Amino acid sequence: MNVLISGITGQDGSYLADLLLRRGYKVFGIVRRSSTSNLSRIEPIKDKITLIQGDLLDQSSLIEAMKIAKPTLIFSLAAQSYVPLSWTEPLLTTEYTAVGQLRMLEAMRQVCPEAKMFFAASSEMFGKVIETPQNEQTPFYPRSPYGVAKTFGYYITKNYRESYHLYACSGIMFNHESHRRGFEFVSRKITNGIAKILTNKIDHIELGNIYAKRDWGYSPDYMEAAHEMLLQAEPKDYVISTGITHTIKEFCNIAFNIAEMPIVWEKEGLDEIAINMYGHVVVKIDKNLYRPAEVDLLLGDSTKIKEEIGWKPKYSFSEMIKDMVINDLNIERNKNG
286-311: per-residue pLDDT in tens? 988 888 887 888 999 999 999 999 99
Tell me the per-residue pLDDT of 211-257, one tens digit each, with 9 for 90 and over.
999 999 999 999 999 999 999 999 999 999 999 999 999 999 999 99
State the DSSP H helix or E strand holding residue 92, giving kind and residue range, or none if neither. helix 90-93
Tell me the per-residue pLDDT of 91-125, one tens digit each, with 9 for 90 and over.
999 999 999 999 999 999 999 999 999 999 999 99
Q: Are strands 116-122 and 73-76 parallel, antiparallel or unpaired?
A: parallel
List, in order of start, the domains of the chain with CATH numbers: 2-177+216-240 (3.40.50.720), 186-214+246-299+316-336 (3.90.25.10)
Distance in Å from the first CA to the final CA of the chain: 44
The pLDDT score that the predictor gives to residue 38 is: 83
Whole-prediction pTM value? Answer: 0.94
CA pseudo-torsion sign 123, 127, 130, 133: positive
Nearest Cα to Cα of residue 191 among 85, 282, 327: 327
Q: Are strands 238-240 and 167-173 parallel, antiparallel or unpaired?
A: parallel
Cβ distance 50 to 27 under 8 Å?
Answer: yes
Tell me the per-residue pLDDT of 52-75, one tens digit each, with 9 for 90 and over.
999 999 999 999 999 999 999 999
Q: 56 in the Ramachandran plot: left (φ > 0), alpha (ψ -120 to 50) or beta?
A: alpha
Tell me the per-residue pLDDT of 203-215, one tens digit each, with 9 for 90 and over.
999 999 999 999 9
How many CA atoms within 13 Å lie on the side-chain side of 336? 13
Tell me the per-residue pLDDT of 16-54, one tens digit each, with 9 for 90 and over.
999 999 999 999 999 987 644 689 999 999 999 999 999
